[in-house]
Chain A
Amino acid sequence: MSADSTTFRSAPARTAYRLPTLSPEANKNVLSLLRLIIIFLIAGAAISSRLFAVVRHESIIHEFDPWFNFRATKVLTTDGFYRFWNWFDATAWYPLGRAAGGTAYPGLMVTSGAIYNLFHSLNIPVDIRNICVLLAPAFSGLTAWATYMFTAAMKDDAAGLLAAVFIGIAPGYISRSVAGSYDNEAIAIFLLMMTFYLWIKALKDGSALWGVATALFYFYMVAAWGGYVFITNMIPLHALVLILMGRFSSRLYVSYSSFYALGTLASMQVPFVGFQPVRTSEHMAALGVFGLLQLVAFVELIRSHVPSKQFKLLLVGFVILVATLAFGALIALTYAGYVAPWTGRFYSLWDTAYAKKHIPIIASVSEHQPPAWPAFFFDLEMLIFLFPVGIFLLFKELRDEHVFVIIYAVMASYFAGVMVRLMLTLTPVVCVSAAIAMSTLLQTYLDPKEPTPLVASGANPDSDGDGQGVTKNTRSRKGAVAAMVETTAATTTGSSDSELSRPTSPQFSAKHFSSSWFGIFGLDSRFFVTIYSLLLLLVFVLHCTFVTSTAYSSPSVVLASRNADGSQHIIDDFREAYYWLRSNTPSDAKVMSWWDYGYQISGMADRPTLVDNNTWNNTHIATVGKAMCSPEEKSYPILRQHDVDYVLIIFGGLLGFSGDDINKYLWMIRIAQGVWPDEVKEADYFTARGEYKVDDGASKAMKQSLMYKMSYHRFNDLFGGRPGMDRVRQSQGPTKSPELDYLDEAFTSENWIVRIYQVKKPDALGRDLPGVKGFDGGKRRKRAVGLPPVAVASAAGRKK
């Protein structure tokens, strides 16, 4: 640093404050030490801010989907890898079963299985549950590191560290990666950022090695998450835009071709993906760009060998012709059926009304709704308004890799605007872009160099110094700045690799935004802007911690509420009911419930279920929906046909738990209506005035339906026989509690959240079940008058 600081002192330009003088080695060492410490602290913050749920409650798996992942991981660790790979789960989708090994993304389970085996080989006997619970926080630390590398490749280490801080604590990412959220996204975002980083690195160096590394991480990503399609389309889009911008280079050819050729073959090794990369429309963009690149590279080679101008023009025409023909062929193949069209789940991202009209099961998931504006501010706070600034700055200095971030930002913003769930893929790019904006701001205002007066400076403000090149001077100045502030530490080493390939590539720095007309004079303006930025950053930390603590750290398995004195009251009805099932029913008792609870029942109660959260068979789900919304006498044959022993429903009317089955009821009706439009009609469940009512004014179909009867059965007993108050619907329940003829109440949890009914066996004497019930209740049917006295006596004996 001594050389640099002498530069500052000997330069005619004034500086706003003195810089510490260090030797270049000492400077470098201090910076790398600071960098290391900062990254470790970020990883620590990322991990510890995800532990609210574990500290407050206990170390358990949350939500629904993670229960399947957890169960699969247990299979992997107890039975071994090959058994897991060929695992046929006979307890799910009861009559059908599920080939789970081939219909799940195995990356998550294999990762935690590997960690489990590693710990056990080191004689650290950690329970597999704890590994599963804490996997997401651990990987969030790695995500912060990958984001640091990615952003450092975009700008410099200072921006990289800021981006790592942002992604470490941004609620948009925390929401899917708190401890206990053992979902695919837990490792997928790390893999996403790592793949993108390696792609950028491969593109910059034009190295096949990094292209292959990209392909390997892409393979890992494919094995981990269905969102790999995003990468499959982002990287080709980047390559295509580069070609269209006239930025084709041999580096692009080498990196993209090696990535695609290996990555595609590798992705096909995952059984769930299979031949999709060559057969479906989602993957055709990658193939098309691959072909286009071969063509362009070939033509470039020929162009270098022929001098004729006409011939070169002919070659360009050739490329355009072949590309058009290939595109036409792709369309023809799609229409002919050789290439599968977009699946509904992806198609609904383009045609946003599609799912609601045609596939109610996709529209029924709350995560698939478009978010409201506050969601963006809630999840990203100030990052959301720094985000466009960063994109603007990237546009100002448009390097090849900046194009990638810009495309990523545009695509991810659109997708997050369509679907709440995709806020997750938006968060990384928002962090990257906001970090670039924030670090540019800080670097501009922490730069101690005073603008030189117009007369003295001349055209180039950098031509002072003692003969150093422009880049060197810029870099050293930034190095000096970085030493002053810990957040903007270290620029000199990390950005060197980008500057090797393009030695005169401009960096973001004060000189681009301040000519000698404009500039930052004195300490006061520097001070105000810096303090203000620091304040923003601190408020961001507060906001993130607050949101994480209040909104995203509640395990959905236990419900927490507060008593009047502030003490915590835990409502643990779900586990109570699941453990009742586990310990009081035969191990092959089939449980029917709505698909939301399928994974939890098989995970916690360990009983076979009819449908679960893997909604691969819509008809089967519609069957369950039909059984739930039909009158008892129509449901009973369905239940008997599917060997159902128990029916489990969620009822929140007593406690005000809004996510109960009566609120999901309309979706059951809609899904059943999609398959049996003649037998189930949504309009029947509304009153004549079109209201969805549960009290005495409810429609006839509603009152007779199995779900309604099961929900309000004996409800009035709680209120001393008076009509009960349903605290979710904010209305009274039925005046007279419905009676069930074909089912028996088997279990109701403490707060009536989970109610389990047992399906009665057919009567041994062949009578219909309502008749038997009436008989037991002392009501005689007319036909039964002439029965011999023995039967009456035995029935009476059975009663007492």
Chain B
Amino acid sequence: MPPKASKAPSSAAAKSRSSAASSASSSSSSPLSTLYNSYVDNTPKRLKVVDAFLVFLMLSGIIQFVYCALITNFPFNSFIAGFASTVGQFVLAASLRIQANTQNRQTFPKVSPERAFGDFLFGSVILHFFVFNFLG
């Protein structure tokens, strides 16, 4: 998904085209391709950047977990710290994505996208403070 981010059309015309395409494809093609097309067409570029970051964090966490499961978990606190940093960062970035999404505006009446970014920064700083304290 992330490599396609650059190709995302952002004009209103493209949007109307995509909605027409998705409604047409829902009956014919598989839901997965519908999902893919709908994502590519309807997601703003910024959110795609966040999504790319989310995928990166997920991969990083999976690699750490596989290392822990297959090789060793010996400095267990280091594993916890590293893994928790990816999970925590993932969650914070996902929160940012949700809050900055314009479709969710009515769900978050008190949180503007700028405020969401500020929250994200604050949470990340606190998270990394604890991560570095726990690395040992």
Contact = CB atoms under 8 A, between A and B. Distances in A.
Contacts of A262: 88, 123, 126-127, 130
A268 B131 CA distance: 10
B123 A266 contact: no
B84 A258 contact: no
Nearest to B104: A250
B127 A206 contact: no
Interface in A265-285: 265-266, 268-269, 275, 278
B110 A207 contact: yes
A419 interface: no
A730 interface: no
B130 A269 contact: yes
A297 interface: yes
Interface string B85-97: 0011001101110
Contacts of B42: 305
Contact of B88 (A209, A216, A265): A265
B123 A212 contact: yes
Contacts of B38: 305-306
A268 B134 contact: yes
A724 interface: no
B123 A501 contact: no
Contacts of B130: 262, 265-266, 269
B134 A206 contact: no
A269 B134 contact: yes
A266 B127 CA distance: 8
B6 interface: no
A212 B122 contact: yes
Interface string B40-63: 001000000000000000000000
Interface in A226-264: 249-251, 253-254, 257-258, 260-262, 264
B97 to A, nearest CB: 9
Contacts of B88: 261-262, 265
A305 B107 contact: no
A690 to B, nearest CB: 53
Main secondary structure of the interface of B (DSSP, over half): helix
A94 to B, nearest CB: 32
Interface residues of A, number: 38
A527 interface: no
Contacts of A216: 126
Contact of B99 (A208, A269, A278): A208
B23 interface: yes
A257 B119 CA distance: 13
A307 interface: yes
Nearest to B125: A212
Contacts of B66: none
B26 interface: yes
A251 B108 CA distance: 7
A260 B80 CA distance: 14
B67 interface: no
A45 B115 CA distance: 40
Contacts of A308: 26, 31, 34
B98 interface: yes
Contacts of B119: 207-209, 212
B80 A261 contact: no
A377 interface: no
A249 B107 contact: yes
A628 to B, nearest CB: 42
A355 B102 CA distance: 55
A205 interface: yes
Contacts of A304: 103
B31 A306 contact: yes
Contact of B107 (A206, A208, A311): A206
Nearest to A293: B91
A211 interface: yes
A207 to B, nearest CB: 6
A305 B23 CA distance: 11
Q: Which of B35, B96, B115, B118 has the most CB of A within 10 A?
A: B35
Given A205-B108, A215-B126, A308-B34, 18 more contacts: A206-B99, A207-B110, A207-B119, A208-B119, A209-B118, A209-B119, A250-B107, A251-B107, A254-B98, A261-B92, A262-B123, A262-B130, A297-B98, A305-B35, A307-B23, A307-B26, A311-B31, A501-B110
11 contacts: A208-B116, A209-B118, A211-B95, A212-B123, A212-B126, A250-B98, A250-B99, A257-B94, A266-B130, A304-B103, A305-B35
Interface of A: 205-209, 211-212, 215-216, 249-251, 253-254, 257-258, 260-262, 264-266, 268-269, 275, 278, 297, 302, 304-308, 310-311, 497, 500-501
